[in-house]
Structure 1
Amino acid sequence: MAIWWSFLVVEMVQLVFVQALVRRRHIATLLLLPVFKGSYFCDLYAEKRPPGTCNGYFPPIWGWMLGDPHLKTLDGVSYTFNGLGEYTLVQVDDDFFKLQGRTARAITKNGTMSQATVFVAFAAKQQNSSTVQVKLTDDGTDYDVLVDGELFNKTFLDDQPFTPNGTNVSMSLKQEESTVGSGAKVRFVASFTSKMSISIGVAEKMLDVLFSAPEEFKGRVTGLLGFWDGDPTNDFKLPDGNIKQPTGDNFTDAEYFEFGQQWNISANQSIFWYEEGKSWSDYNDPTFEPLFLDELIDNYEREDPAYLSKVRSNCGDDQECLFDSLATEREEIGLLTRNSSTQIRQQQTDLGNFPPNVTIEGSSLLEVEVGKAVSLKLDATDPNPGDTITYMLADPVLGAHITQGKIIILHIQNILSTETWLQNRSNSDQIEANILFFLNRW
């Protein structure tokens, strides 16, 4: 590449921004591309590699469910549902995409069945894709992945994402720090061609799931994760299209349960694979009645007020933590729910922190001459209120410095090429502008 450059005469340098979001860091690469005489080569380059920006970026929208099922709809409404069976979590345009979940009764610290449930399996399918099913292993410490009913070897995912032939589903494993105790847990991620995805993890003998969808599906999603249209007041849309309303000012736990039961799937609607000798009827019990939080509190006030006081101290005002600690008689389950929920909310907040908009003032063509100084002025605005933008050179560069915060003075030396790095920080975000010069002296 260096030899090829040496036969061309550089007249000007064109400025191009390329932006991307990588691991919570907003990266803006500022390329100074050589414009050759007649600008023919630059035009060809721009045709094949048009500049990309973060304009129009929307953070992915998440809905999730964890613990003794606590759900957060795509419009941000939190509620608890303890049905026992298989349910539609997400349905897009009837049959375009489905995400279904299976629950089982939670086990108390004494090994008895509780009157609460946890998720033990999920299944997802898009039109023209394979069905991906994730189910808790018998010992509750891991999960198995099945593709169209066949056990999938997860070791294929150790190094990189993998798309089995004919499935139209990209699968990967993602390491993530545990929210309770030490070490890391491995989440399974399935991404579909629609850009919808699911992320599933295991902890304390139960599964949790995060569902993500792009904005284009707004107004087309229903199920336990709610009717997604940006309006949280109509989230509880029933399969018949009606919106369930509370009898009072707010929904009661019993009313949430009534809503959830409406999304209980039939045998014909199920996309789950069933083991030999088992069927839909082995996993669904429409007669099951859970204990709601107020009932649990009443029971513990009578039978074990000391434990109730202890978990209230642990959980504070976190009702999900309180419910799980009481329903399972295990403090660690409540703490897991609280910490996991906090972690997910923080991740969603980070994704919602939009990158600053960086523009170059003046012409996008910068005339330069080897050995002489050149001035470059950048203007940046941050769409997130309260975020401040500062510039700095990440590494010392000979002859380069910043004045007045936004003007970069670069002294180009009598060399073939040089690199300088500019770093722009907006709160926890970082923007790095990589300024590359390809110059020849003739």
Structure 2
Amino acid sequence: MPRDDDRSSVGQNLTIAFPFFDALFSQLWVNINGAMSFLSPISKYTPACAPVQRAFSMISPFWADVDTRDPGYNDGIYFRESLDDTDLQQAQTEIINAFPNLNGIQLKWVFIVTWYNVTFYDTQNHPGQKRNTFQAAITTDGIHSFAIFYYNNITWTTGDASHGVNGFGGTPAQAGFDAGDITHRLMIDGSCTSEMLTIQDRSNVNFPGKWIFRVDSSDIQTAGCTTNFTSTDILRISPTFVTTFGQVNVEVSGPCIIAENSTVTCRIYDPTQMPYVESEGKIIGTFNSAKVVCPIPFLFTTGRLQLEIDVSHNVNSSETTNSVYNGFIYVTEMSPDGNGLNLKVNKALNGSVDNTIFTWDPERFVNGTEFVDIQIIVFDLSTITKPVVKSIIKIGKKVENIGKWIWNYAEEEAEKPSLPFCHFDPTEIYLQIAFEAIEFGWDEYSHPDYRSHWLANAGIEASQFIGDFCDDWVREAECEAWYYSSGTTITIDSQPCPPTLEQAQVDLRFAPEFSRDVAFYHSGEDICYQSVAPSPNGGGQECCYKNEEIDCSINGGHSEERHPNYPFSHFIDDTLPWIMCCYKQDEEICAKYQAKRPCDRGANYTPPAPARGTGDPHLNTFDGYFYTFNGFGEFWILQNSSFQPLAVQSRMEPLNATANEATIFSGFVFAVPNAAIIQIQKSLIRIVDIYIDGQQLDITSPNSLKRLSMDGWQMIIAEDLSAIHIGFSIGFAFEITTISGAFGFSASASPNWSGKTLGLLGIFNGHQDDDLTSQNGTIIPLNSTLQQIHENFGLTWITTSETTLFKYFNGKTWDDYNHIEYMPSFSFDPNAVSNHTKELCDNDWACIFDYHYTGSAAIANQTISSNQIYNETVTALNKTVETCPQLKSPANGYFNVPNYFEGAKAQFNLATK
């Protein structure tokens, strides 16, 4: 950069847009005075030490009055953009070490600026004075973005024109980030004070002179701690979710903690381990970089759990202070595929167990892991409200980490372990097992390390092991004991199965099961669907299909005592009995399971009412009435009431500054009593942001959470973030589509909500006449004009600052999103548009409307697709499916029938046992 004073570079066009404070920037300016700006060059040489104007949206590693006019001291300012693998790998290593939950991130771009050996203004009055060297690197993968500050040598803080004397005093340098919106900024502690002289000795990553921050979202996230963190602030936890298996460390940051004479207790409020389960935390880093490492034990509840750290500090021999801070961690069950450890049981010709082969990828362990132990963990779930680890059985000691080990159980004699789940004992129907290969000698509690020290399998193969390893007669006896025990007959209150695959595919209350689940538990079935949310009593419904019809043969679906959202109770009440009764067992034995967990054949199925919204908002009510409403604000899609508990609000706003004659959906919020509130909103950077009770859910990090189950609902997120499926226990379901820059939605309502809905989706009662009922109860005629619908119906459903359910960010409020004075165009004439538009839309009115007002072919195509899907949904759900009367089980026998369609064959069998 040319030598000068108070100068900025020419604008640098960036190869990849840089996300900063929830905005994307494709140009930046490097300023001599220790900063970078994104909207215009910086003209000020004295740091503001207060929020800056919008034109100065900026990153400042050391904003102070730098002077490089004197060429005699080998000083200079250098910058470069890089896509070089070496630079990217170095940045990636720094970021992953600072933010462990981002392990796997692939950075694509880095911009590096170095202020080398620079002095303060006025160098002409004091040549050869004190010199500073520091560097800033900003980097991104296109979604996440980061800033890394390196301070090599800091000897001055203030220029002469900033009232400094000999480089000190006056208004010292500041370091940090400012969005330029008066609200969002983060300054490194000590900014604008003499403490800036020590910034090379401090750090937020426990490495003197190094500071790392995540900068893409509205709140800058420091890799370290915050000195003004209070007990009402929410802890940051990395990684943000764990499995029920636990056995990992999480990194908890927020308050700056004095490690000396302090201890930390970590508590997780797991309802099945009341009141909580706790472990000893470990403080790492110095004061500015302090974090707490919390070991996570086995957990028995999925969903969002409260994590608390209790910091006890001994002030002196007679005084101790305690500070308690809280955050949330999300807990999921382990994948059906396990977690990297595979196993297969081999049997001898006589049916006895010969051996079990374990395989794994040795490189999944930390580099240098030479040996592992292989063990079976046995959980006692007999009291599901208080599960415990019954035993840990080590079956392989100091096994070489080569990726394969054979457990020759048949050859073991003296050291043959006793496996409690393979002896006939009715109490052992309450056991669950998991397999683990763990690094030999590793102790998670004393080694705060986030890399992989173990692999496990608590999924299908662990369940299959019980079926293969235990003698058939033992499993049959266990099945008999379960069948005749009290409390195994269930009361079914789940949604009945759709009788055809066509209906299952469009009923939003159901979602496809994992293919591996289907292959193991329902061999021969084409596909199975699972009720998305638990029933009011916690049950579930599993529906399997063959040749596009419901199939209730021996391998078909079942009603479930406990929905899979409750993995441990589901295992004990539904999965383990199936292993005992049906896995490689005779049909007669399996019939006992089917009697207790009957397959629903769809005879009582009543389809839900579909609704949807798309494009420049076009809506179909639950009764099918189609209309268009271009509101600019937040509106009630469904208003809750004393007879309907679900509240749904939508946000509508113009697509952009030029397409302002119509609006699109840009956000939704869902609330049901005694459950967490879900907020989904459009993001320029991340496609979509999801908030749970106002806290952002991490859905963009590598291996981030894509399925979340909580009391009252379950949410399934598409891997590419194109769709978000939410099912509610009370019988509503929604799917939000996020593509094309404009959200759309599909909805379904169970028939029991007929006559009980209010809002933009109308009064669901099978009659369209009252669908345009305003909030004050006035019914608007169905043949009303666009303007009449807008003014007399749509606007009446706008929320207020008191009734809104939305949380607001970036300093915005309800007033920023709600504009009742906005008037869209009401003069649309589809006949006046170009032939190109008509051809693009195949003469579809809604598509033509959207393309005309937005100019977006993507939104127009989304509308066509939504129309097609909606019409297919209505057709499928309205089909009448005739079934024969249900058969009764014979005395002293059982029968097998796939379904009750005409032509289906029923096979009756006499009991032989």
| Cα distance change on mapping 1:273 and 1:244 into 2, 3 Å | same
Residue of structure 1 aligned with 2:615, choices 49, 62, 67: 67
1:172 aligns with 2:734: no
Look up the match of 1:371. none
SS of aligned partner of 2:852:
helix
| Cα distance change on mapping 1:158 and 1:367 into 2, 3 Å | same
Look up the match of 1:322. 848
Look up the match of 1:193. 729
Q: What is the Cα deviation at residue 150 of structure 1? A: 0.6
Paired residue type of 2:850? D
- The 5 Å alignment of 1:98-247 reads 98-107=647-656, 112-139=658-685, 142-154=687-699, 161-164=707-710, 168-174=712-718, 186-245=722-781
Q: Is the 8 A contact 1:89 1:101 kept in 2?
A: yes
Cα RMSD (Å)? 3.9
SS of aligned partner of 2:775:
coil
1:57 aligns with 2:605: yes
C-alpha distance in 1 between matches for 2:598 and 2:899:
21
Q: Is the 8 A contact 2:554 2:896 kept in 1?
A: no
Look up the match of 1:284. 818
| Cα distance change on mapping 1:436 and 1:288 into 2, 3 Å | farther
C-alpha distance in 1 between matches for 2:473 and 2:752:
47
Q: What is the Cα deviation at residue 113 of structure 1? A: 3.4
C-alpha distance in 2 between matches for 1:379 and 1:133:
41
Deviations 1:285-304 (A, max 9, x none): 11111113x43558xx4xxx
- The 5 Å alignment of 1:391-430 reads none
Deviations 1:27-85 (A, max 9, x none): 23135999xxxxxx999867743564422211222211110101010000011100111
C-alpha distance in 2 between matches for 1:376 and 1:281:
63
Look up the match of 1:260. 794
SS of aligned partner of 1:114:
coil
Deviations 1:240-270 (A, max 9, x none): 2222225xxx221112212101111111110
C-alpha distance in 1 between matches for 2:730 and 2:897:
40
Q: What is the Cα deviation at residue 144 of structure 1? A: 0.6
| Cα distance change on mapping 1:80 and 1:296 into 2, 3 Å | same
C-alpha distance in 2 between matches for 1:29 and 1:43:
12
Deviations 1:172-214 (A, max 9, x none): 1246xxxxxxxx7631122223132221111111111222221
Deviations 1:123-160 (A, max 9, x none): 11011222110000024x61110011110123699677
Q: Taking structure 1 as the reference length, what is the TM-score of the superposition?
A: 0.67
Q: Is the 8 A contact 1:360 1:378 kept in 2?
A: no
Structure with greater proportional strand content: 1
Q: Is the 8 A contact 1:106 1:117 kept in 2?
A: yes
C-alpha distance in 1 between matches for 2:853 and 2:769:
29
- The 5 Å alignment of 1:265-276 reads 265-276=799-810
| Cα distance change on mapping 1:437 and 1:198 into 2, 3 Å | farther
| Cα distance change on mapping 1:28 and 1:357 into 2, 3 Å | farther
C-alpha distance in 1 between matches for 2:743 and 2:909:
47
Q: Is the 8 A contact 1:315 1:338 kept in 2?
A: yes
| Cα distance change on mapping 1:128 and 1:329 into 2, 3 Å | same
SS of aligned partner of 1:143:
strand
Q: What is the Cα deviation at residue 163 of structure 1? A: 2.2
Paired residue type of 1:252? T
Deviations 1:84-130 (A, max 9, x none): 111001113267221001111123xxx62320100111011011222
C-alpha distance in 2 between matches for 1:343 and 1:225:
18
| Cα distance change on mapping 1:367 and 1:123 into 2, 3 Å | closer
Q: Is the 8 A contact 2:634 2:798 kept in 1?
A: yes
SS of aligned partner of 2:473:
helix
C-alpha distance in 2 between matches for 1:106 and 1:143:
15
C-alpha distance in 1 between matches for 2:678 and 2:898:
47
Residue of structure 2 aligned with 1:2, choices 472, 475, 479: 472
C-alpha distance in 1 between matches for 2:669 and 2:716:
16
Q: What is the Cα deviation at residue 363 of structure 1? A: 7.1
Paired residue type of 1:27? I
Q: Is the 8 A contact 2:552 2:599 kept in 1?
A: no
1:88 aligns with 2:636: yes
| Cα distance change on mapping 1:287 and 1:42 into 2, 3 Å | closer
Q: Is the 8 A contact 1:361 1:378 kept in 2?
A: no
1:331 aligns with 2:864: no
Paired residue type of 1:257? H
Q: Percent identity?
A: 23
Q: Is the 8 A contact 1:325 1:331 kept in 2?
A: yes
1:28 aligns with 2:551: yes
| Cα distance change on mapping 1:186 and 1:106 into 2, 3 Å | closer
In structure 1, runs of 5+ residues without a counterpart are 8-17, 35-40, 176-183, 369-374, 382-388, 392-405, 409-434
Q: Is the 8 A contact 2:608 2:877 kept in 1?
A: yes
Look up the match of 2:838. 312
C-alpha distance in 1 between matches for 2:699 and 2:898:
47
| Cα distance change on mapping 1:227 and 1:361 into 2, 3 Å | closer
| Cα distance change on mapping 1:3 and 1:90 into 2, 3 Å | same
C-alpha distance in 1 between matches for 2:473 and 2:699:
46
| Cα distance change on mapping 1:352 and 1:47 into 2, 3 Å | same
Deviations 1:356-396 (A, max 9, x none): 5255779745979xxxxxx9999955xxxxxxx666xxxxx
| Cα distance change on mapping 1:64 and 1:438 into 2, 3 Å | same
Q: What is the Cα deviation at residue 219 of structure 1? A: 0.8
Q: Is the 8 A contact 2:707 2:717 kept in 1?
A: yes
C-alpha distance in 2 between matches for 1:146 and 1:379:
42
| Cα distance change on mapping 1:54 and 1:274 into 2, 3 Å | same
- Compare CA radii of gyration and give the structure with the larger one: 2
Paired residue type of 1:93? S
C-alpha distance in 1 between matches for 2:475 and 2:850:
66
| Cα distance change on mapping 1:65 and 1:5 into 2, 3 Å | closer
State how many pairs are aligned. Answer: 348
C-alpha distance in 1 between matches for 2:814 and 2:829:
30
C-alpha distance in 1 between matches for 2:734 and 2:897:
43
RCO higher in 1 or 2 (8 Å CA, sep ≥ 6)? 1
| Cα distance change on mapping 1:347 and 1:155 into 2, 3 Å | farther
C-alpha distance in 1 between matches for 2:705 and 2:841:
38
In structure 2, runs of 5+ residues without a counterpart are 1-470, 478-491, 506-544, 556-580, 583-588
| Cα distance change on mapping 1:269 and 1:310 into 2, 3 Å | same
Q: What is the Cα deviation at residue 312 of structure 1? A: 1.6
Q: Is the 8 A contact 1:361 1:377 kept in 2?
A: no
Q: Is the 8 A contact 2:665 2:742 kept in 1?
A: yes
SS of aligned partner of 1:88:
strand
SS of aligned partner of 2:661:
strand
Q: Is the 8 A contact 2:844 2:864 kept in 1?
A: yes
Q: Is the 8 A contact 1:312 1:322 kept in 2?
A: yes
C-alpha distance in 1 between matches for 2:655 and 2:839:
23
| Cα distance change on mapping 1:283 and 1:364 into 2, 3 Å | same
Q: Is the 8 A contact 1:361 1:379 kept in 2?
A: no
